[in-house]
A and B are shown apart, each in its own frame.
Chain A
Amino acid sequence: MKQGHAGQAIPHDSAIRHVSGTARYVDDIPLPLNTLHAMVGTSTCAAGHITQLDLSAVKSSAGVKAVLTLDDVTGHKDIGPVFPGDPLLSTGEILFYGQPIFVVAADTYQNARRAARKAKIEYTPQTPLLDVKQALHQQRFVRPTHIFGQGNAQAAIQAAPIQLHGEQYIGGQEHFYLEGQVSLALPTEEGVMVYSSTQHPSELQKLVAEVLHLPIHAVTVEMRRMGGGFGGKETQAAQWACLAALLALKTQQAVKLRLPRADDMSLTGKRHPFWNQYTLGCDEEGKILGAMIQVVGECGYSPDLSDAIVDRAMFHSDNAYYLPNAHIVGQRCFTNTVSHTAFRGFGGPQGMMIIEQAMDDIARRVGKDPLDIRKLNLYQEQQTTPYGQTIEYFVLPSIIEQLEYSSDYWQRREGIKLFNQTASHVKKGLALTPVKFGISFTAQHLNQAGALIHIYTDGSIHLNHGGTEMGQGLNIKVAQVVATEFGVDIERVLISATRTDKVPNTSPTAASSGTDLNGKAAQQAAQILKARIAECIATEYQVPVESVEFVNNQVRYLGGALSFAEVANLAYLHRVSLSSTGYYKTPLIHYDRKAGKGRPFFYYAMGAAVSEVQIDTLTGEYKVLRVDILHDVGTSLNPAVDQGQIEGGFIQGMGWLTTEELMWNQEGRLLSTSPATYKIPAISDTPPVFNVALLKDHPNGVATIYHSKAVGEPPFMLAISVWSALRDAISSLSHYKMSPRLDTPATPERVLRAVLESRAHNP
């Protein structure tokens, strides 16, 4: 029996280390003697200029070895990942509350932290811009507006029998990876070696080199595993690595920079808050005839990845529904806060929220069940999206149908209506929402990957690829691909740390693309090696090359078989190279930004969820009672890993929409800077009934690795069903005549406000 091949639900490769405490994270690496600890000193206003910077108390603080400001940087001073705008340390201008102004290295972590608080800094403060609407009004953008659409939305809406308008404010989200930002830099002969918890080692390497004014080859970045990333370590890890490296070169000592939790939460970007509006026209049945949608991302002080993030919000503002006439506008607003960044879904969830709100609103208006409205407006094969991509392999109708049945939607709907008529202060709500999520980086050049495989003479296989492991099971999936290709047990394949000197110029592990890209690259490397070995065997044993097969830890050929180890040794003796790189780039994708048309996505991942909630109309408290999910992962590479992504993504999405509330005060200071005040879901938030199933017998229609589908991000948006169910429960108070606006996160407080509004509508 083959062990650990593609399709098997084997545990995460580090599972035993995880439970034993032996899985090593950056902060666990034994330190060289005299390692210094670094900490940043930060601004205490959100906008203005520094008039005086007195660091004498910092320098004389116990244990301090070095204090640096931007003036000490000889190379690039800006580390903006795509566009400039992210100074490594303040230039003298203050852009957000908590902006790093200087960095200090001391003998201990505690001494560095204490020293960093001792600077005397004076500012000429300005009034910070903190309101996204105001920013839009003032046209304060970090990147230009983008617009696309099809047909004539305005005319269609005007001609429609029913017109509707709605708006929503969607809160941001703190990543709250359990392992905070951390980098360790060691001076080397040629430059610097950096250990970092990063989703993007190659970019980190490049930025460190630029800041230090070194060629890229003088910097090596290693990343074994992250204690969670979720997008928060795509660009946001670089600053800490650059600062640690800078100090390491200056002091010629190893330097570690680890952000304490409160600093991590205050100083790093989050999921973008959005302010969205729709105007649409539909017929009496609730079918949309035309829609104008504006999604306004609150980007913070710099572009970071906001161009692509707001694009993705726009690309998903239709979610799964056909908008025959559509006009979609995306705005990227400046505010004096941290620069908001990638987070699972990358703007997609925020875009989807507006059309899902519209679905509920239409349903109340025409007096139908929201599910009927969703089904009525669902895409059909070969229709086009507002950005011109043709809908293919559209499996959602079937997913919804199966889920309606397996979750007993209609019977429960009746039960809930009855319950709500009789129960006193407790009301229930139910909602089914679909997800259609586009897979591929919207920045085309990122859709490439490399891998490296060595086979040693004992038949053991060393695997390296450009992706990074953050818990999503990427390494085990890629190893399963390699084990499958070579027909060997998974134990033979060693998954090693991601290193920039093994696979160069890699893309971030993001956009759910890790397995699609790196799995394919690793497959190619394996196939190259197999071809070399097959040829060697064919020559040695005078057999047709086609007869050579890699199965059951053996290499078989016409009339014989060798163990994989024997073959490896044989190939070595015959001077066959047993090392190969592999490479992959995603085909077919393109997007013409000027025209707003193209095929930005290789394919769509799909799924749907049914959530049932119960609210207390006296306090706004609620509980998610039951969730049923059916999700399409194509042909699963590892059903256990995929299920984990779905469950985990769903709960994370639920947290985003319910209890996770970011709060800034009027000065622009973040108040929710600890898990004591920022509440991610805890164990009893997991619904007591939580049925998760993978869609059966539905291989990906396009040629991905073994016809699997990306799974990292799409399930996150299944949680919109919880929010929609909350609205449904609230709507019951108006006898389903209206659904009050429910901005997110829908904390008990927001739910209570909406309850009162709904009730007021039903005197």
Chain B
Amino acid sequence: MIQFLLNDQLITLEQIDTNTTVLDYLRLHRQQTGTKEGCASGDCGACTVVLGELNEAQTGLQYRAINSCITLLGALQGKQLITVECLAGERLHPVQQTMVDCHGSQCGFCTPGFVMSLFAMWKQQPKPSHEHIDLALGGNLCRCTGYQPIIKAAQALGEYATDDTFSANAQTTRQALKALQPASHLALSYQQQQYFLPHTRAELAELCLHYPDARLVAGSTDLALEITQNLKELPCLIGVNQVQDMQQLDVLAEKIIIGAARPYSDCMEVIHTYYPAFAAMMQRLGSTQIRNQGTFGGNIGTASPIGDTLPVLLALNAEVELQKGEHIRLVNLNDYFTGYRKTVLEKGEFIAAVHIPRLQAQQVLMVDKVSKRFDDDISAVCAAWVLTLNNNVIECARSGYGGMAATPARALNAEQALIGKPLDHTTIQAAQQALAHDFKPMSDVRASSWYRMMVAQNLLERMSLSVHQPA
């Protein structure tokens, strides 16, 4: 059984197709058709809804936009699901009124999604900057307006009321959320299907051993596409988002440990503090909706050659913490990938956390991503380098490249070409040439092999131009 609030209504679900997306639940099961389907793949934002939940300190509420089309019902446990139909009280909500006043809708099909993204943003930033707006709305596509009136609507928000029914009802909502029962171990089931929601790593470990063929669900931003695009039925699912001891974010003296189930959005602050170049790239990983759901565990779990965190983690010499039963092991990410979407992860084993070494005083981290479109696009090439510099001499160089091979991979030849050399134009040129021996990238819908190689080489130059020598 799971419990959540649908707007203000308490919902308990038990017997329901466990592969149902939140979007289909709203549209087909509850006939709430205000939320739209534009793509069913997380790319357009038409299906955006907001999840309200108690913040980490349990003192206040936080609101996050997600794509309902790639979210499974298990993710709703303990949350308030807010949909476009329920924003307005007696009057339109400020985010709705500003959209009307600024002519922010034309055909209107994208509008409910924009309204919900605006709502989540406004709850955090009642007076958003241009940067906030671009970030908050980067995952919402509009084919009609060219965005200009929507940007104006968002910029005008400061002129509207600063409270709404949600703030007025905050007290009751908090109580209602606290009163929700925790999910039962077998949260949802239907015919042969099962959806488990363990609460601890120990429970998870046991389930994984017991159901070695089960699929783990973290943010489901990758997994759900198997359902909505490939029409697969996933009979046994184990959700990790209730596993409290996989949500940690520990900043230790020599490393930072991030729980595999922690959404990107909850990591951004720390990453920004300790690895600013990484944070800058992560702002372009998917969209706000994707980052509110997606996790490091999921990114490593897909083992995709275009997973954006992976080159960075490689360059940073990160380790993954794997657990099978009670056995825990640490594997260097470099040894983790064995082939195209193949890893050393065993049946019944899962990713518990990622351990990222902290940068030394002499180290610089450089990260860059090139894609066709700036917002919400998969990389043609993603590159990361950690250089250890001593008096402008590169003592140590470690890299990670995405999009260049069947797995995220280091550019070993290029690394060698840098080590022991001064950081200057000649050295970079030598490394660029060496890089040509590291990879034979392929051509696909995103870029040609030629372009990938050219960019991979040139990024080295571009990144080196931006290096600020550590003092």
**How distant is the Cα of A763 from the Cα of B462 in the complex, in angstroms?**
22
CB nearest to B114 among chain A residues: A19
- A20 with B147, Cβ < 8 A, contacts A113-B231, A117-B231, A674-B43 known: no
CB nearest to B376 among chain A residues: A682
- Residues of chain A within 8 A (CB-CB) of B39 are 261, 674-675
**How distant is the Cα of A690 from the Cα of B150 in the complex, in angstroms?**
13
- A682 with B451, Cβ < 8 A, contacts A20-B96, A261-B39, A661-B372 known: no
Decide if A279 is an interface residue (CB 8 Å cutoff): no
Decide if B245 is an interface residue (CB 8 Å cutoff): no
Decide if A121 is an interface residue (CB 8 Å cutoff): no
B103 touches A179 (CB 8 A): no
Residue from A20, A425, A661 within 8 A of B85 (CB atoms):
A20
Residue from B37, B85, B370 within 8 A of A27 (CB atoms):
B37
- Residues of chain B within 8 A (CB-CB) of A114 are 231
**How distant is the Cα of A672 from the Cα of B446 in the complex, in angstroms?**
9
**How distant is the Cα of A261 from the Cα of B144 in the complex, in angstroms?**
18
Q: How many residues of B are in contact with the other chain, CB < 8 A?
A: 77
A471 touches B107 (CB 8 A): yes
**What distance in Å separates the Cβ of A2 from its nearest Cβ neighbour in chain B?**
20
CB nearest to A473 among chain B residues: B106
Within 8 A of B (CB), among A22-54: 22-25, 27-28, 30
Decide if B363 is an interface residue (CB 8 Å cutoff): no
Decide if B16 is an interface residue (CB 8 Å cutoff): no
- Residues of chain B within 8 A (CB-CB) of A12 are 103, 105-106, 108
- Residues of chain A within 8 A (CB-CB) of B38 are 178-180, 261, 675
Decide if A652 is an interface residue (CB 8 Å cutoff): yes
- A261 with B40, Cβ < 8 A, contacts A472-B106, A749-B447 known: yes
- A684 with B138, Cβ < 8 A, contacts A14-B108, A228-B144, A471-B144 known: yes
B92 touches A20 (CB 8 A): yes
Within 8 A of A (CB), among B40-69: 40-41, 43-44, 46
**How distant is the Cα of A661 from the Cα of B44 in the complex, in angstroms?**
17
Residue from A16, A226, A682 within 8 A of B373 (CB atoms):
A682
Decide if B391 is an interface residue (CB 8 Å cutoff): no
- A618 with B458, Cβ < 8 A, contacts A19-B99, A261-B40, A688-B130 known: yes
CB nearest to B85 among chain A residues: A21
Decide if A598 is an interface residue (CB 8 Å cutoff): no
Decide if A760 is an interface residue (CB 8 Å cutoff): no
Residue from B40, B106, B107 within 8 A of A179 (CB atoms):
B107
- A227 with B148, Cβ < 8 A, contacts A11-B100, A113-B231 known: no
Residue from A177, A261, A473, A752 within 8 A of B143 (CB atoms):
A177
A226 touches B33 (CB 8 A): no
Decide if B84 is an interface residue (CB 8 Å cutoff): yes
B107 touches A15 (CB 8 A): no
**How distant is the Cα of A472 from the Cα of B106 in the complex, in angstroms?**
6
Decide if B382 is an interface residue (CB 8 Å cutoff): no
Interface of B is mostly: loop
CB nearest to B457 among chain A residues: A618
Q: How many residues of A are in contact with the other chain, CB < 8 A?
A: 83
- A752 with B462, Cβ < 8 A, contacts A27-B37, A110-B231 known: no
A471 touches B372 (CB 8 A): no
B445 touches A672 (CB 8 A): yes
**How distant is the Cα of A647 from the Cα of B103 in the complex, in angstroms?**
12
A686 touches B147 (CB 8 A): yes
**How distant is the Cα of A652 from the Cα of B144 in the complex, in angstroms?**
8
CB nearest to A673 among chain B residues: B445
Interface of A is mostly: loop
B106 touches A16 (CB 8 A): no
What 0/1 pattern do residues 141 to 174 of B give for CB contact below 8 A with A?
1111111111100000000000000000000000
**What distance in Å separates the Cβ of B122 from its nearest Cβ neighbour in chain A?**
13
What 0/1 pattern do residues 20 to 48 of B give for CB contact below 8 A with A?
00000000000111111111110110100
**How distant is the Cα of A685 from the Cα of B372 in the complex, in angstroms?**
11
Decide if A677 is an interface residue (CB 8 Å cutoff): yes
Decide if A640 is an interface residue (CB 8 Å cutoff): yes
Within 8 A of B (CB), among A170-198: 175-180
CB nearest to B117 among chain A residues: A683
- Residues of chain B within 8 A (CB-CB) of A574 are none
- A683 with B140, Cβ < 8 A, contacts A21-B35, A114-B231, A228-B109 known: yes
**What distance in Å separates the Cβ of B331 from its nearest Cβ neighbour in chain A?**
30
**How distant is the Cα of A690 from the Cα of B111 in the complex, in angstroms?**
22
A470 touches B370 (CB 8 A): no
Decide if B459 is an interface residue (CB 8 Å cutoff): yes
Residue from B33, B373, B459 within 8 A of A659 (CB atoms):
B373
- Residues of chain A within 8 A (CB-CB) of B137 are 683
- A676 with B41, Cβ < 8 A, contacts A19-B92, A616-B462 known: yes
Within 8 A of B (CB), among A644-663: 644, 647-652, 659, 661, 663
**How distant is the Cα of A59 from the Cα of B456 in the complex, in angstroms?**
51
B34 touches A25 (CB 8 A): no
Residue from the set A19, A227, A661 with the largest chain B CB neighbour count within 10 Å:
A19
What 0/1 pattern do residues 312 to 352 of B give for CB contact below 8 A with A?
00000000000000000000000000000000000000000
Decide if B83 is an interface residue (CB 8 Å cutoff): yes
What 0/1 pattern do residues 427 to 471 of B give for CB contact below 8 A with A?
000000000000000001111100100110011011001000000
- A682 with B138, Cβ < 8 A, contacts A16-B92, A178-B143 known: yes
**What distance in Å separates the Cβ of A130 from its nearest Cβ neighbour in chain B?**
16
**What distance in Å separates the Cβ of B143 from its nearest Cβ neighbour in chain A?**
5
B451 touches A752 (CB 8 A): yes
CB nearest to B46 among chain A residues: A178
- A675 with B43, Cβ < 8 A, contacts A27-B33, A176-B143, A648-B144 known: yes
- Residues of chain A within 8 A (CB-CB) of B44 are 178, 675
- Residues of chain B within 8 A (CB-CB) of A262 are 229
**How distant is the Cα of A291 from the Cα of B347 in the complex, in angstroms?**
69
**How distant is the Cα of A177 from the Cα of B144 in the complex, in angstroms?**
8
**What distance in Å separates the Cβ of A412 from its nearest Cβ neighbour in chain B?**
21
CB nearest to B98 among chain A residues: A19
CB nearest to A677 among chain B residues: B445
**How distant is the Cα of A647 from the Cα of B97 in the complex, in angstroms?**
21
- A228 with B143, Cβ < 8 A, contacts A647-B149, A676-B43, A749-B451 known: yes
Decide if A671 is an interface residue (CB 8 Å cutoff): yes
Decide if B366 is an interface residue (CB 8 Å cutoff): no
Decide if B88 is an interface residue (CB 8 Å cutoff): yes
A178 touches B138 (CB 8 A): no
**How distant is the Cα of A682 from the Cα of B138 in the complex, in angstroms?**
6
Decide if A486 is an interface residue (CB 8 Å cutoff): no
Decide if B110 is an interface residue (CB 8 Å cutoff): yes
Within 8 A of B (CB), among A350-404: none
- Residues of chain B within 8 A (CB-CB) of A674 are 39, 41, 43, 229
- Residues of chain B within 8 A (CB-CB) of A473 are 106
- Residues of chain B within 8 A (CB-CB) of A690 are 148
**How distant is the Cα of A9 from the Cα of B377 in the complex, in angstroms?**
36
**How distant is the Cα of A651 from the Cα of B454 in the complex, in angstroms?**
29
B148 touches A228 (CB 8 A): no
**What distance in Å separates the Cβ of A169 from its nearest Cβ neighbour in chain B?**
16
Residue from the set A619, A623, A643, A652 with the largest chain B CB neighbour count within 10 Å:
A619
**What distance in Å separates the Cβ of A308 from its nearest Cβ neighbour in chain B?**
24
- Residues of chain A within 8 A (CB-CB) of B376 are 682
- Residues of chain B within 8 A (CB-CB) of A524 are none
**What distance in Å separates the Cβ of A39 from its nearest Cβ neighbour in chain B?**
11
Decide if B134 is an interface residue (CB 8 Å cutoff): yes
A677 touches B103 (CB 8 A): no
**What distance in Å separates the Cβ of B309 from its nearest Cβ neighbour in chain A?**
18
B146 touches A652 (CB 8 A): yes
Q: Which 7 interchain pairs have the tightest Cβ spacing?
A: A21-B34, A471-B107, A227-B109, A651-B146, A18-B108, A471-B106, A21-B84
Question: Besides A15-B99, A616-B462, A675-B38, 15 other CB < 8 A contacts?
Answer: A11-B100, A12-B105, A14-B108, A19-B97, A114-B231, A177-B109, A227-B110, A425-B461, A471-B144, A619-B462, A623-B374, A661-B372, A672-B445, A683-B134, A686-B147
8 pairs of residues in contact across A and B, judged by CB atoms under 8 Å: A14-B108, A19-B115, A21-B33, A176-B143, A623-B374, A675-B41, A686-B148, A692-B148
